[in-house]
């Protein structure tokens, strides 16, 4: 089987199987070996690693992963790609293709079965319309993952690593930075895909923290506060929290917490760092007792 990753071989296999791109699955296949090598370098894959690939497509990246890793578990939602993958991965006995929706799967059970519950590395060219739900389900579900090296929309990658006070900073930035250390490994232009997306892309590597970088008494409360702070971005933090249906703090309790942190009453959520949000959350958590 010819190595994929260039337009000619990709088009040949797609024509052979009369494949039609499904807009509902957000399918954009990589056709640039240079980018594939950058993904592999960022993932730091070794022969000791078991890798979970989300959305293998026609198996372009899967071939690279199979060469470098101990084992590849590839989860593909589009049943019409299964015969294609059977051909493109026929030379690799260390790849297991599973037909399913990653968001509906019990990943802890899957990793228990395939890697005795030990942490895996996630590598994926993610469909852009469900990038955030997939990543957050991995992180919030406390799935045993060492790192996630994923292709995402460039704008989303910028939001993941954004700092307080910038336009890209928001609830996603804080969640990603609470669970991981993000860095952008490569920017990828539209011409590296078939079909071409309308937006630029980026490879972002998320290395999971062994322990969160801040001390939090109530993780659930922390993220409720963060989400409420950014739901109405232009509102003050006090108004954002008072308007949140799932929070019951009084205006005075929120004011007191801000005073304890020497923060002005008119401060907006976008000004607070992860450290400040965790301190603020801990103060309010004690008021729930």
Task: State residue 20's pLDDT score.
Answer: 85
Integer Cα distance of 81 and 59 in angstroms: 9
Band (pLDDT 50/70/90 cuts) for residue 289 is low
14 close to 2: Cβ distance less than 8 angstroms: no
Better-scored residue on pLDDT, 247 or 127: 247
Residue 288 pLDDT > 80: no
Task: State residue 111's pLDDT score.
Answer: 97
Task: State residue 2's pLDDT score.
Answer: 59
**Domains with residue ranges and CATH for the chain:** 7-208 (3.40.50.150), 219-288 (1.10.8.100)
Task: Report the percentage of the chain scoring pLDDT > 90.
Answer: 86
Mean per-residue pLDDT, 160-179: 97
Q: What is the mean pLDDT of the chain?
A: 94
Band (pLDDT 50/70/90 cuts) for residue 287 is confident
Task: State residue 127's pLDDT score.
Answer: 86
Which DSSP state fits 168? T
Going by their DSSP bridges, the two strands 193-194 and 29-30 should be labelled as antiparallel
Task: State pLDDT tens for residues 248-266.
Answer: 999 999 999 999 999 999 9
Task: State pLDDT tens for residues 190-214.
Answer: 999 998 999 999 999 999 999 999 9
Task: State residue 1's pLDDT score.
Answer: 53
Task: Report how far apart, in Å, the C-alpha atoms of 61 and of each of 43, 163, 176, 194 are.
Answer: 12, 31, 24, 14
Task: Report how far apart, in Å, the C-alpha atoms of 21 and of each of 17, 28, 66, 248, 275 are.
Answer: 12, 8, 25, 47, 44
Task: State pLDDT tens for residues 24-78.
Answer: 777 889 999 999 999 999 999 999 999 999 999 999 999 999 999 999 999 999 9
pTM: 0.93
């Amino acid at each position: 089987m010819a190595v994929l990753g260039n337009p000619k071989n990709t088009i040949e296999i797609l024509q052979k199987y009369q494949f039609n791109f499904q807009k509902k699955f957000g399918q954009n296949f990589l056709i640039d070996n240079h980018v594939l090598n950058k993904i592999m370098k960022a993932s730091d894959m070794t022969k000791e690693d078991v890798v979970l690939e989300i959305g293998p497509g026609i198996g372009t990246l899967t071939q690279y992963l199979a060469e470098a890793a101990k084992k590849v578990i590839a989860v593909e939602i589009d049943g019409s790609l299964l015969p294609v993958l059977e051909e493109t991965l026929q030379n690799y006995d260390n790849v297991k293709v599973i037909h399913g929706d990653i968001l509906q799967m019990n990943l802890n059970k899957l990793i228990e079965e395939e890697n005795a519950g030990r942490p895996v590395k996630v590598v994926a060219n993610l469909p852009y319309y469900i990038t955030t739900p997939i990543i957050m389900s991995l992180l919030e579900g406390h799935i045993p993952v060492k790192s996630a090296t994923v292709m995402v929309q460039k704008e989303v990658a910028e939001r993941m690593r954004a700092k307080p006070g910038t336009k890209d900073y928001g609830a996603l930035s804080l969640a990603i930075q609470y669970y991981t250390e993000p860095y952008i490994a490569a920017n990828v232009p539209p011409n590296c895909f078939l079909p071409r997306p309308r937006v630029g892309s980026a490879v972002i590597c998320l290395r999971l923290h062994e322990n969160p970088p801040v001390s939090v008494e109530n993780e659930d409360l922390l993220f409720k506060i963060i989400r409420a702070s950014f739901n109405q971005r232009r509102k003050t933090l006090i108004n954002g929290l008072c308007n949140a249906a799932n929070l019951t703090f009084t205006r005075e309790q929120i004011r007191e917490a801000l005073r304890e942190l020497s923060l002005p009453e008119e401060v907006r959520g976008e000004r607070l760092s992860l450290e400040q949000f965790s301190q603020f959350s801990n103060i309010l958590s004690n008021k729930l007792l």
